[in-house]
Amino acid sequence: MVETRQLIPDGCNAGTVLRIGVGVNVVLVLAALGGRGTDSAGVPFATQFTAAFLELAAVVEPSTLVTLLGWCLVRRVAGASSAAVQRGVAWALPALAAGLVNRWAVGAYWPLLARPDVLALGIGLCGGMLAQHYFELRARAFSPAIDEARFQALQSRIRPHFLFNSLNAVLSVIRDDPVRAERMLENVAELFRAVMGDVKRLVPLEQELELCRRYVEIEQTRLGERLQVSWNIGAVHPRVRVPQLLLQPIIENAVRYGAERLAGRCDIDVRVRQQGFKLEISVSNPIAREPVQREGNQIGLNNIRGRLALVYDLEASLETRVRRERFELTLTLPVEAKGAA
């Protein structure tokens, strides 16, 4: 069964609101510049431009706000609708918003659109068509990036040396501790099952954390007591979801550039907490004193940033810094928009 894509712009998304807001105001500025100039009465150009801009904004800005709210609400109930219906709704909402605002709110302030209302409807319809078409084209342009992200994820997660080291660790304990070896093989199987799955899929946060704990258990079998991970999991909404294999690669980087590079003990701190509608995940690990090649790490982090952009647009962020000889990574995700669906 072919899944119907969402063609209605997400009016609740910060990236959509920002792009629509900037685009609308650029059009308003150009319209105000083109519609006014210094007249014979000697009114300064700046005064005329400001007046023209405010007259236009009095209709367009409220219409834009109503449109974004309408898209936000309708998108939540139109997911299974056909493409034609979604496009029609996306186009009609701006036209209706412009017509209503023009008739009920500011008709007296802009005589040009006070009569007839059809002009406001036409402008709103054209604006809605342009905006919807832009976001549809943008979604199509990002489609190849989904497959590329999955390819990069597979390449970076299924590294031959990881499988080799894991199997060697199993062989080293299989005679002395068969139960532990069996447990480790189960962990390896779970990890590779997740790796071979759809990296775009949202999974419960606890499921991702459990996958990370299995990965740490595998590495502790190989590295012994040198690897210590502290899990500080705060209270979060039970239905919070995150992209699959989002946190595990971050912890893998911490092991790869921390425990594997250090002669002594490596303490990795993992903190998860929810603040309002934001989920914050922090991972901190010590840095080896000798210079290390960070290319592989940067490829992994850029991969994660790309996946965040595909899933959350501008509503998620990934920040890194080095402080007190520790590498600190902070990942911020929205909870309401994608997490508690």
**Segments of the chain with pLDDT less than 50:** 1-3, 38, 40, 107-116, 158, 292-297, 337-341
Calculate Rg over the CA atoms of the chain: 27
The answer to whether 303 and 156 have CB atoms below 8 angstroms apart is yes
Domain count across the chain:
2
The residue from 115, 142, 169 where one domain ends is 142
Give the containing element (helix H, strand E) for 99: helix 83-104
Q: Is the dihedral of CA 253, 258, 259, 261 positive or negative?
A: positive
Cα(227)–Cα(209) distance, integer angstroms: 17
Q: Considering only CA atoms, which of 43, 140, 122, 30 is closest in space to residue 83?
A: 140
What pLDDT does 54 receive? 85
Q: Considering only CA atoms, which of 330, 253, 244 is closest in space to residue 299?
A: 253
What pLDDT does 145 receive? 58
Which residues form the domain of 106?
14-142
Are residues 104 and 199 both part of a single domain?
no
Cα(275)–Cα(221) distance, integer angstroms: 35
The residue from 142, 168, 187 where one domain ends is 142
Torsion over CA of 78, 81, 82 and 84, rounded to 10 degrees?
Answer: -40
- The structure's pTM equals 0.66
Return the SS3 of 326: strand
The residue from 84, 115, 142 where one domain ends is 142
Are residues 106 and 162 both part of a single domain?
no
Are residues 138 and 226 both part of a single domain?
no
What pLDDT does 284 receive? 93
What pLDDT does 318 receive? 92
Are residues 55 and 183 both part of a single domain?
no
The answer to whether 255 and 268 have CB atoms below 8 angstroms apart is yes
> Residue 143 class from Cβ within 10 Å (0-12 exposed, 13-18 middle, 19+ buried)?
exposed
Are residues 115 and 230 both part of a single domain?
no
Cα(306)–Cα(311) distance, integer angstroms: 9
- What confidence tens digit (pLDDT) does each residue in 280-306 have? 999 999 887 665 444 444 556 777 887
DSSP state, 259?
Answer: I
Cα(115)–Cα(41) distance, integer angstroms: 28
What pLDDT does 340 receive? 44
Backbone angles phi, psi at 232, to 5 degrees: -115, 90
